[in-house]
A and B are shown apart, each in its own frame.
Chain A
Amino acid sequence: MDQSRRELLTGAAAFAGGLLLVSARPADATPASMQAAIRNMLGDVEIGKGKVSLDIAPLVENGNAVPMTVAVESPMTATNYVKAIHVFNEKNPKPNVISIHLGPRAGKASISTRIRLADSQRVVAIAQMNDGSVWSDEVNVIVTLAACVEGL
Chain B
Amino acid sequence: MTEIAFAFRCVLSSVLIGTTLAAAGEIPMSERRSGYDMMSADTKAMQDDDTANPASLWVLEGETLWSTKTTNNKSCADCHGDTAQSMKGIAARYPAFDTKLNKPIDLGQRINLCRAEHQNATPFAPESRELLALTAFVARQSRGSPIVQDDPKMQPAIAAGRALFEQRLGQLNLSCAQCHDDNWGKQLAGSTIPQAHPTGYPIYRLEWQSLGSLQRRLRNCLFGQRTELYAFDAPEMIALEAFLMWRARGMPMDAPGVRP
Contacts and interface: CB of A to CB of B under 8 A. Distances in A.
B207 A15 contact: no
A24 to B, nearest CB: 7
Given A15-B225, A61-B39, A145 B190 contact: yes
B5 A147 contact: yes
8 contacts: A9-B16, A13-B15, A16-B224, A28-B8, A61-B206, A64-B6, A144-B190, A146-B9
A57 B6 contact: no
Contact of A61 (B4, B15, B174, B260): B260
A57 B41 contact: yes
B172 A11 contact: yes
Nearest to B258: A65
A61 to B, nearest CB: 5
Contacts of A111: none
B46 A146 contact: no
Interface in B2-29: 3-13, 15-16, 19, 21
What size tier do the contact residues of chain B reach? 35 or more
Contact of B172 (A15, A25, A143, A150): A15
B119 to A, nearest CB: 35
B21 A119 contact: no
Nearest to B7: A23
A4 B168 CA distance: 13
Interface string A59-74: 1111111110000000
Q: Most A CB atoms within 10 A — which of B19, B43, B189, B223?
A: B189
A145 B191 contact: yes
Contacts of A148: 5-7, 10
Contacts of A15: 172, 174, 188-189, 224-226
Contact of B3 (A7, A10, A20, A28): A20
A4 to B, nearest CB: 6
Given A11-B172, A62-B260, A149 B189 contact: yes
B10 to A, nearest CB: 4
B40 interface: yes
B220 interface: yes
A14 B42 CA distance: 29
A5 interface: yes
A93 interface: yes
A91 B206 contact: no
B121 interface: no
Across the A-B interface, the 5 shortest Cβ-Cβ residue pairs = A118-B8, A16-B189, A148-B5, A147-B6, A23-B7
B85 interface: no
A21 B5 contact: yes
Interface string A95-136: 000000000000000000000111110000000000000000
Interface in B183-202: 183, 188-191
A14 B170 CA distance: 12
B208 to A, nearest CB: 8
B173 interface: yes
B11 A7 contact: no
